Structure 1
Amino acid sequence: MKKILIATAVAASFASIAHAQSSVTLYGTLDTSITYTSNVNGGHQWAVGSGSTDENRFGLRGVEDLGGGLKTIFTLEEGFDTNNGAQASQGKMFSRQSFVGLSSQFGTVTLGRQYDAMQHFVSPLSATGSWGGANFAHYGNLDHLDKNSQDAASNSIKFASANYSGFSFGGTYSFSNSSQFANNRAYSVGAGYENAGLRVGAGYAQQNNPNATSGGAYNNLDLNNIGLTGVSFRQRQFGAGATYAFGPALFGIVWTQARLDNVTGGTGSVHTNNYEANATYNLTPALGLGIAYTYSNGAAEDAHFHANQVGLKGDYSLSKRTDVYVQGTYQETSAPAGSTINAVIDNGSATGVSSTHRQGVASVGLRHRF
């Protein structure tokens, strides 16, 4: 009888140890606002917005300690609309992220649907990728820095290095899962450095024939934001940026370039350069202000255009998890006589291209994180 009791106690102790070494965390964000948008189909729009700053989401994040510094990690994350409960992406249960992998002292290797190196290293340095959300995205979000737009890559292998005295690097390769190996595949590389209040990042990403196949790396890039529907092209993004924090202030600069070659369903080629300066300042521990200015220039075939965008935001924390905010963004474009390049504030891809060369978006919202 004693042997049975001892064996039971030992088994229970091992079970508790195994349980202590594994964890699964439920997390998410609820963000709802009243949003005004100008020049939508020739008029103005008032709407209950969903995810003006952060896309509404819920997710599961897990880790299991395998011993010797090796861990299994996974993330499953889906976006949704708080106004009607609909999934952000029809046909996918976890459209934002869904991956599993291994983590060690050297870094992590993960497989599944994930963000690329531009989104990993450059996006957090921009207003749209940190505190501003979709309304602060660069022209048309062609550089994919706004991660609220479901621009993760499927079928991806991703490596993210450990932190070596502030330096880190990584990359992704996303398979087409097609007999035409290069059709709808993607890859990216990037690196970053952090030291005290300084943070620097750079990245490159390329997609070959995105949206061409339903099972490939991409099938939902933000082409409709600028009126494009074609698939037979190559899309590339380059970018670099830096932020510096001291006291209650943070300043940042970001440059990105997006190139779309041989586009069908629109102009033959499109390229844009975006130059952003952003800043935040905490007036009190609860009240923060943010501002971002972006100048964009580019060309659609022979039509060169310019865009100026400025965004402002005020945020007040009611608790560690809940805050209220007010924000506004204004964009104006210009192009040669005879060319039409309308404004397009990403706005969660909710309204599409402005009906004129001007557009403004303003939101008052409530956000809760859990």
Structure 2
Amino acid sequence: MLKKCLSLSVGVACMSSAHAQSSVTLYGLIDLGVTYLNSAQTGRVGSQLNGKSQVAMSDGHATGLSGSRWGLRGTEDLGGGMQALFVLENGFMANTGTLAQGGAEFGRQAYVGISSSGLATLTVGRQYDPLVDSVQQFAASGNWGGYMSSHVGDVDNLSNTSRINNSIKIATSPFKAVKAEALYSLGGVAGNATQNQVWSLGVSYAGTSFNFGAGYLNARNPNVSFYGNTPNKGLATANNIGSPGSPTTPEVLPAYAGYASANTLQIIGLGGSYSIGPTIVSAVATNTRFQSMGSASGPNPLAYSGNATFNSVELGVRSYITPSLLTGVAFDYTQRSSVKGDGGAKYLQLDTGVDYFLSKRTDAYVLAVLQRATGRDSLGQAAVANISGFTASSTDKQIGLRVGLRHRF
């Protein structure tokens, strides 16, 4: 006997039989908002950067709480506690209707796998890495602060700017409160198995009040394998991280765009939180290293060599004032080591946010981020502030504001 059912009201289609059961779920989210920036680069005259204030509408991918998306998620019962599963998740810019994630149709996630009840889940495709899975939950950007609260330029990828292509991922929960993950991405280069490879490990603990997570990521030739894995990027001769602006265009990710020639990107992250009633105190620490610069195929106009290291620390507090009103505040500090005798750079950032839930599926929010930069940036000039998702400032200070509306379906 075979039975099929379709429920348009909740976007679920399912099929069942006497031996197997399968389901496919349509889901999504739209996040749109209006932003204000006190200083956005408009170009330069000689060595002088020009900047003006800016008011714009943007999707959540750029500066909001969540990137707009729609997706399909499905499972099939294979019997004996085994399930087949898949996820196809598209990211789009709701303010323009264009594709996000560099033009990839399913740029957020695209994978298929098998799950064994009580043992492990194996998935293959384009996926989130274990570092993000294990540590993002403790950062403001993974909760109430949105992408604009990322550590400068999302240098440690805790806001998941870069997903991992061609990856094999296994996740297991050996104990009820503990989850462990491992991922390996095949580089696919003939004659060199390690070129363009990415691997990552993560572990997390979810307790009653205390939670903890740790993760590690290692990407070879990151300009291509990590930053260049979308349709509009990927050329080994191009800077896929960002680039210096021309006299009439702004600079892109000046904090670390100059390190595209690194042979290896290494990120280590730790995070934890403690709940006290409706209040959660959290902390995150990350170490990001661009190693062996000048030895990979990425552009290196300033002839960098050696390593560039970013250490970031974040302390945050979020609290439900009422069941419908969430507030949060966090302080971020990022320090970059001296490279080629430039003395390094420092980025101080204050994140604040208020989120009001109009219903279970709809909320309105206000975010504000203040950042100050000192020292020299990766492009060999005086460091400028660059709140994640916004055009870099023309000065060492920047203020970003956003009022947004988010709806899940």
TM-score strictly above 0.5 = yes
Q: Distance in 1 between matches of 2:24 and 2:176?
A: 29
| CA deviation map 1:284-318 (0-9, x unaligned) | 11111011111111125032222110111001111
User: What is the identity percentage for the equivalent residue pairs of Structure 1 and Structure 2?
Assistant: 35
Letter paired with 1:342? V
**Structure 1 counterpart of 2:34, one-letter code:** I
Matched, 1:173 2:175: no
The residue identity in structure 2 corresponding to 1:120 is D
Residue 253 of structure 2, aligned match among 225, 249, 252: 225
Change (3 A) 1:215 1:270: closer
Aligned to 2:383: 341
Q: Tell me the TM-score normalized by structure 2.
A: 0.81
Task: Tell me the CA shift for residue 19 of structure 1.
Answer: 9.6
Decide whether aligned partners of structure 1 residues 124 and 222 sit closer, same or farther in structure 2, where only a CA change above 3 A counts.
farther
**Aligned partner (choices 167, 172, 175) of residue 161 of structure 1:** 172
Q: 2:145 aligns with which of 94, 117, 132?
A: 132
Match of 1:288 in 2: 326
Superposed displacement of residue 213, structure 1: 6.6
Instruction: Assess if the C-alpha contact under 8 Å between 1:21 and 1:65 holds in 2.
Output: yes
TM-score, normalising length: structure 1: 0.89
Aligned twin of 1:31? 31
Which of 345, 358, 372 is the aligned partner of 1:332? 372
**Structure 1 pair 336–183 and aligned structure 2 pair: CA distance change class (3 A):** closer
Deviates more, 1:123-132 or 1:250-259: 123-132
CA 1:190–1:294 in 2, change beyond 3 Å: closer, same or farther?
Answer: same
Q: Is contact 1:323–1:367 with CA below 8 Å preserved after alignment?
A: yes
What pairs with 1:101-120 in structure 2 (closer than 5 Å)? 101-104=113-116, 105-120=118-133
Counterpart-to-counterpart distance in 2, 1:214 and 1:206: 10
* Match for residue 235 of structure 1 among 248, 265, 268: 265
Alpha-carbon shift at residue 354 of structure 1 (Å)? 2.1
Alpha-carbon distance in structure 2 between the residues aligned to 1:327 and 1:214? 29
The correspondence for 2:352, drawn from 292, 305, 312, is 312
Q: Residues 131 and 182 from structure 1, CA distance in 2 versus in 1: closer, same or farther, beyond 3 angstroms?
A: same
Structure 2 residue 17 is matched with structure 1 residue 17:
yes
Q: CA deviation at 1:162?
A: 2.1
Amino acid of the structure 2 residue aligned with 1:299: S
Distance 1:125 1:222, change over 3 A: farther
**Residues 229-250 of structure 1 deviation map (CA, whole Å, 9 limit, x = unaligned):** 7345311100101011232111
Structure 1 residues not aligned, in runs of 5+: 1-9
Secondary structure of the 2:137 match is helix
> How far off its partner does 1:89 sit?
3.1
Partner of 2:11: none
Rate the CA distance shift 1:131–1:213 in 2: closer, same or farther, 3 A: closer
- Residues 142, 222 of structure 1: 8 Å contact kept: no
Q: Which moved more, 1:282-291 or 1:219-228?
A: 219-228
Q: Tell me if 1:275 matches 2:303.
A: no
Distance 1:73 1:28, change over 3 A: same
Partner residue, 1:4: none
Return the offset for 1:131: 2.3
CA offsets 1:66-122 (integer angstroms, 9 cap, x no match): 111111111111111111100003442101110010111212110000111111101
CA distance in 2 between partners of 1:67 and 1:265 (Å): 58
Structure 2 equivalent of residue 5 of structure 1:
none
Q: Which residue of 1 aligns with 2:58?
A: 49
Output the amino acid matched with 1:132.
G
Residues 189 and 336 of structure 1: is their aligned pair in 2 closer, same or farther, counting only changes over 3 Å?
closer
Size of the aligned set, in residue pairs, is: 355
Contact 1:32 1:365 in 2 (8 A): yes
2:81 alignment partner, one of 69, 81, 105: 69
Which sections of structure 2, spanning at least 5 residues, go unmatched? 5-14, 42-50, 235-239, 243-251, 295-299
1:204 aligns to 2:189 (yes or no): no
CA distance in 2 between counterparts of 1:222 and 1:84 reads 23
- The code of the aligned residue for 1:345 comes to I
